[in-house]
Structure 1
């Protein structure tokens, strides 16, 4: 077999890898520009220039600027290492340990992508499409918490607290504003925030043993 047919065999895989690399470069450039200039002041042409690609390439990858921001939101979720959370949940069926695993995931999310979350929320005040991206991220978080809490044995939650209420309490405790206040304003290390979250969630949500 010659080298040329073997090379052609992997052309599809090579194109996929190149496309993923291009998308990653576009998302990286968009994140830097959105944070530096703001959403409204950043154009698709700016993003294309910073990423070293053509404007049609950006549109082909994400459709429009709102689509690009949705890709950034997805990347923010990935940065928190969802596979690690899933592994922790599967390895620790005890509700207390699962609350600690979820708090650790949220800490990673806010530590690695808090700037994107804040950008989406603030820009969403004037851009309805971005507001929907932000709300969708919140809904995904609530859905994930609901799935975990619903799988616990009956009687795990404190008396008078059902799953929807528990999801609301979780959201009130573990959120970007609390994280930023403790880490930026009060100098807490991120790990301390996650540990405190786990303790508070255990106290507020779980029935005493």
Structure 2
């Protein structure tokens, strides 16, 4: 008489996360290589080694897949904690020296920018002709602006801010942006290291008291 193995929800959850990660990885590669409009769900499914129905079951549609891809690319993984609660941000908050705090924050921002800049370029091009995608990106940007308030408080540390928190958040929103990184590294030919050093100086000069 055969004995049924006990149902393992942990194993099922792990498999589901692996499937989701495979789909997101395939989507990233295809969106960056071919653009949003030219990339089909079929191509993403083939790249991930799953059925088309699986992609729809996990994400619903291509637009939602892109939204979640942006979120995961910013954080670097699919854990639920926001970037301001991650180990890197906590290390910034714990650093007593203002200059070093700016340097740590700049390094963290650079790593995020290097991950997310390619997909942001894709979104910018696609949103110009897709009103629903443009609206989705406005919501993403609004959430990012809210996050900048927390970021300003973290980078201020014990020294405080040189301006009010709203202006500090707006300043970080601009200088952290992938578009600024693009202008400096692509248009001016700066290295990633030079961009990071510039960013640290800007944070120290314009945000920290």
> TM-score, normalised on structure 2?
0.81
How much has 1:90 moved relative to structure 2? 3.4
Cα gap change, 1:54 to 1:201, in 2 (>3 Å): same
Q: Which moved more, 1:182-191 or 1:116-125?
A: 182-191
Q: 1:26 aligns with which of 9, 14, 23?
A: 23
Q: Which moved more, 1:146-155 or 1:51-60?
A: 146-155
Structure 1 CA distance for aligned equivalents of residues 206 and 69 of structure 2:
33
Q: 2:193 aligns with which of 187, 191, 194?
A: 191
Q: How do residues 58-207 of structure 1 correspond to structure 2 at under 5 angstroms? A: 58-79=55-76, 82=83, 83-93=86-96, 95-150=98-153, 152=156, 156-158=160-162, 161-207=163-209
Spell out, residue by residue over 1:132-187, the C-alpha distance to the aligned partner (whole angstroms, 9 max, x if none): 343333333322221243465798333xx321112222223232122123223333
Q: Are positions 1:37 and 2:34 aligned together?
A: yes
How much has 1:72 moved relative to structure 2? 0.8
Q: How do residues 36-55 of structure 1 correspond to structure 2 at under 5 angstroms? A: 36-55=33-52
Unaligned runs of 5+ residues in structure 1 are none
Structure 1 CA distance for aligned equivalents of residues 130 and 34 of structure 2:
16
Unaligned runs of 5+ residues in structure 2 are none
Structure 2 CA distance for aligned equivalents of residues 137 and 88 of structure 1:
26
> TM-score, normalised on structure 1?
0.81
- Contact 1:121–1:130 (CA under 8 A) maintained in structure 2: no
Q: Which moved more, 1:117-126 or 1:139-148?
A: 139-148
